Amino acid sequence: MYRVKFKRLPGSEDIQLPQKMSEWAAGFDLHAAVQEPVTLAPGMRQLIPTGFAMAMPPELEAQIRPRSGLAYKHGITCLNSPGTIDADYRGEVKVLLINHGQEPFVIERGERIAQMVFQVVPHVDIEEVDELPDTVRGEGGFGHTGK
Ligand SMILES: O=c1ccn([C@H]2C[C@H](O)[C@@H](COP(=O)(O)OP(=O)(O)OP(=O)(O)O)O2)c(=O)[nH]1
Ligand SMILES: [Mg+2]
């Protein structure tokens, strides 16, 4: 079990902190901390505040992912999916939504707009070399094994 600290930001006291909607949900739903309803016209993107900042242990990252219901019903998704929240980021968590649908979509204050999934991220040291170890695959890729 990892402990992650959440801090509500000024003006967002009424916004629900990220919340799991079922016991074993992978994601914590994120709520829109928009002051006024925001209308996303078809094809448009908007950075939506969530009203909180957080601090997690350095072995974690958090991914911001779309909600499938919004994607299926309205074409609303995260443009940079999955968004990456670094363990050392202390700014407000924001969600970059895009409307891939045909209709304008209104985001109301407090609405659940995306979800956040925590992951353990291996920290890696880079070593520059002249030769890489051989493999059977070699440089084959991008469908070289067939359809
Ligand atoms: O959907 C997202 C993606 C990122 N961030 C915040 C947290 C993350 O730690 C920071 C930087 O994100 P990223 O590394 O993806 O963006 P960048 O363009 O590389 O910016 P930077 O130069 O600040 O790292 O922005 C969000 O709030 N929401
Ligand atoms: Mg970056």
Q: Where are the domains of the chain?
A: 25-120
**Binding-site residue set for substrate:** 67-69, 80, 84-86
pLDDT single digits (tens) 103-128 = 999 999 999 999 999 999 999 999 99
pLDDT single digits (tens) 36-73 = 999 999 999 999 999 999 999 999 999 999 999 999 99
> Which residue is it, tokens 């979509």?
105
**Confidence band (pLDDT; 50, 70, 90) for 5?**
very high
Write out the DSSP string of 90-123.
-S--EEEEEE-SSS-EEEPTT-EEEEEEEEE---
CATH dotted code for 25-120: 2.70.40.10
**Binding-site residue set:** 67-69, 80, 84-86
For residue 83, report the distance from its CA to the centre of ligand 1, in Å: 7
Is 33 touching ligand 1 by the criterion CB < 6 Å? no
* For the CA of 86, the nearest ligand: 1
pLDDT for 144 equals 93
Tokens of residue 146, six digits = 């067939």
